[in-house]
Amino acid sequence: MAVQPTSSRLRWIAPASVVLLAVAFSVHRLEDFDTWYHLAAGRLMLATGTWPATNTFSLTAPAYPWIDLHWIFQLLLYGAWTIGGVDGAIVLAATLMGVTTFVLYGAARRFAPPAFAAFLLALALVISSPRFVPRPELLSFLYFALYLRLLEGRLRNGRAVFLLVPLQILWVNTQGIFAVGIALIGCYWLGATLAFLPLPRGWREESALDPAAWRRLTAVLGLATLACLLNPWGVEGALFPLQLLPRVTGSSLFSSRIGEFRPPLASGYAPLLVDTWVALLALAAASFVVNLRRWHLGRVFATLAFGYLSTQSLRNMAFFGWIAAPVIAANVGPWLARRTVPSAARSALAAVGIGGILLLIGAVVTNQYSRVMRIEREFGFGVSRARFPSDAVAFVERTDVTGRAFNCLAMGGYLAWSRPNDRVFVDGRLEAFPESVFRRYFAVMERPDMWPQDVAPYEPDYAFVYHGWSNRLPLVSYLARGHGWTMVYYDEIASVFVPSDDAHRETRERALSAFGEIRRARLAAPDPEPPSAWRRALSVPVAEAWRQRASGNMLRSVGLPDEAARAFRRALALDPDDTDARTNLGFVYWSLNQRDAAVEAWREVLRRDPANERVAQTLARVAGAAAR
């Protein structure tokens, strides 16, 4: 049942606002680690004129088969890069998300008033926004939206549903999660099939298809399933999801170590975002209660399936958001249409909804949203300085540090793209390495003393470690304290090491000499002036504050407390509410025997965050020691 708009102006204001929100979420500095190996793959395919066959980027598994079902997106991404560089990739992401949102808005608008449809899409965008990066998922999102439009609007009145078959061919050659399309068709087919049974009348009226339409949908399900064979790897490519699934589910090697595979409630990621996902789950469930007598069984099965998947990993929350918005609209929209609401009240509610979306856009554009969510994403173009160490790569290029690389997982794709002549130890292509390589990698990250048996046999010529995350610090500390390695460079987010043996003496001495000059210049440079309050309000420097805090943590771990204190002070100049930076600054002051400064820092933490138990306990211990 379609719902007419309450105001002709809402015909364009509502969709425009929510599409603009999707674009705002997508226009941010390039931050995704996997984007780089997708670019490298696109470059490789154009250079060789064929699809990859083996893991040519790797030194640990160069002959391992590589089924690269992402090739359509990779060529599209590389084309965007060729035209516009990194900004071209960001524009591609924003365009795909804008179109996807417009299609989904149309699916929800069939059932609900404009402002309500836009509000539901805004919730879906919030929980999906971490995935708005130049990755194959963006095309998968668009396919998913088109599937929903066809399944919702074209089953009873035409053969347009057969468009799902060529869409499935595109999907299987875009991303390895193409089985999502088959699952979505299957949910609607199962609902229509069960409608032939003697179910409650309202359920049958909502779900049933006439025999001809049911046969068309059955044929589409079968043809779309067979269409999965139409990829460069044939049966192997069609079965690829079954190969990948055990690696990213349950208690696998990756599910507990890679953030996007963790369950939302156990991830620790952006609590407010996870709360929004929980609210959307509850709203979807409540909508079925409101519409109990007229369930559309296809929507029920789709909501259950994608709702369950969203509880299993962060990356699945997006697909639940896409299904939840039109489903809630379909369940609640007719109920709203039956309510008698004065036009003034309807207009006021619509204004509040659209106004809230516009305020959210403002928060995203000024990075206030990122600050509240405690993430490092910054609105704008270019490459994130919190994620990619361009200075470190420039240093190794300038000093000719080259050869076989050990790198942390985060840096693999970036090095494959920026240093194509060197081979990487590991990267984010879980399908392109044997699990044994990842086991060695994770073993040495968790226990650096495993380095001699897990990494040394590969005879790396240098190590390149992204230390922005604290779980890298044990390895950085291990290598920095000897064990056959010398730290020849570090900056806020990356460190470079060269073996301490005679074979690498010339490289090591050249790099140490160059870094000595860099370090002296850093220490002599005055601290930059902190941005004014109004400038912070217009654009919160979340990435730079994060970089400085990460730098302080690394410098503290390798025994450079003076430099660590300076980094923490810089972080606090950018964000005075950074509790972690202020807490760790206190510990650095304590190690420097500046006890009064340490206590003052910790007291300021408690003043800003009275519930901080760690600092409260630390101050209690200090007071107890002083009393004794």
Q: What is the pLDDT of residues 365-405, one digit of tens each?
A: 999 999 999 899 999 999 999 999 999 999 999 999 999 99
For the chain, the straight-line distance linking the first and the last C-alpha, in angstroms and rounded, comes to 76
What would the two tokens of residue 253 be? 């090697």
Q: Which helix (H) or strand (E) holds 407?
A: strand 405-407
240 vs 338, residue with greater confidence: 240
pLDDT for 581 equals 95
- Of the given ranges (104-108, 141-145, 285-289, 620-624), which has the lowest mean pLDDT? 620-624
Residue with token string 């470079």: 496
pLDDT for 1 equals 44
Cα-flanking dihedrals φ and ψ of residue 354, to 5°? Answer: -65, -40
Per-residue b or e along 8-42, where b marks 16 or more CB atoms closer than 10 Å to that residue's CB? eebeebbbbbbbbbbbbbbbbbbbbbbbbbbbbbb
Burial bucket for residue 466 (CB in 10 Å: 0-12, 13-18, 19+): buried
Sorted by where each begins, the domain ranges of the chain are 10-31+67-373, 390-524, 533-627
Give the number of other Cβ atoms within 10 Å of residue 185's Cβ.
Answer: 26
Please report, for residues 253, 481, 551, 590, 624, the alpha-carbon distance to residue 558 in angstroms, rounded to integers and kept in the order given: 29, 8, 11, 16, 30
Q: Given a cut of 90, is residue 250 above it in pLDDT?
A: no
pLDDT for 3 equals 45
Q: Given a cut of 90, is residue 93 above it in pLDDT?
A: yes
Calculate the CA 294 to chain-centre distance: 37
pLDDT for 482 equals 85
pLDDT for 244 equals 82
Contact 564, 580 (CB under 8 A): no
CA 485, CA 463: separation in Å to the nearest integer? Answer: 9
Give the residue from 556, 592, 593 showing the smallest Cα distance to 571.
556
Q: What is the pLDDT of residues 395-433, one digit of tens each?
A: 999 999 999 999 999 999 999 999 999 999 999 999 899
Q: Given a cut of 70, is residue 145 above it in pLDDT?
A: yes
Q: Could you tell me which residues are beta bridge partners of residue 494?
A: 466
CATH architecture, domain 533-627 = Alpha Horseshoe (1.25)
Q: What is the pLDDT of residues 445-487, one digit of tens each?
A: 999 999 999 999 999 999 999 999 999 999 999 999 989 999 9
SS3 content of the chain, % helix, strand, coil (to 5): 70, 5, 30
Q: What is the dihedral of CA 439, 440, 445, 449, to 10 degrees?
A: 140
Q: Given a cut of 70, is residue 5 above it in pLDDT?
A: no
Q: What integer is the mean pLDDT of 348-360?
A: 91
pLDDT confidence tier of residue 157, bands split at 50, 70 and 90: low
Give the residue from 169, 297, 143 showing the smallest Cα distance to 224.
169
∠ Cα 418 482 484 (to 5°): 70
- Of the given ranges (155-164, 204-213, 556-565), which has the lowest mean pLDDT? 155-164
Q: What integer is the mean pLDDT of 489-495?
A: 96
CA 624, CA 602: separation in Å to the nearest integer? Answer: 15
Cα-flanking dihedrals φ and ψ of residue 110, to 5°? Answer: -60, -25
Q: What integer is the mean pLDDT of 564-578?
A: 93
pLDDT confidence tier of residue 526, bands split at 50, 70 and 90: confident
628 vs 560, residue with greater confidence: 560
Q: What integer is the mean pLDDT of 267-287?
A: 93
Percent of the chain at pLDDT exceeding 90: 81
Contact 23, 94 (CB under 8 A): yes
User: Reduced to 3 states, what is the DSSP secondary structure of residue 7?
Assistant: coil
Per-residue b or e along 284-302, where b marks 16 or more CB atoms closer than 10 Å to that residue's CB? beebbeebeebbbbbbbbb
Cα-flanking dihedrals φ and ψ of residue 495, to 5°? Answer: -140, 150
Give the residue from 186, 181, 183, 175 showing the smallest Cα distance to 231.
175
pTM of the model: 0.93
Mean pLDDT of the chain: 92
pLDDT for 270 equals 85
Q: Given a cut of 90, is residue 292 above it in pLDDT?
A: yes
pLDDT for 497 equals 97
Give the residue from 524, 525, 517 showing the smallest Cα distance to 488.
517
Return the biggest CA–CA distance within the chain.
87
Cα-flanking dihedrals φ and ψ of residue 466, to 5°? Answer: -85, 115
pLDDT for 7 equals 60
What would the two tokens of residue 246 be? 């055990």
CA 565, CA 572: separation in Å to the nearest integer? Answer: 11
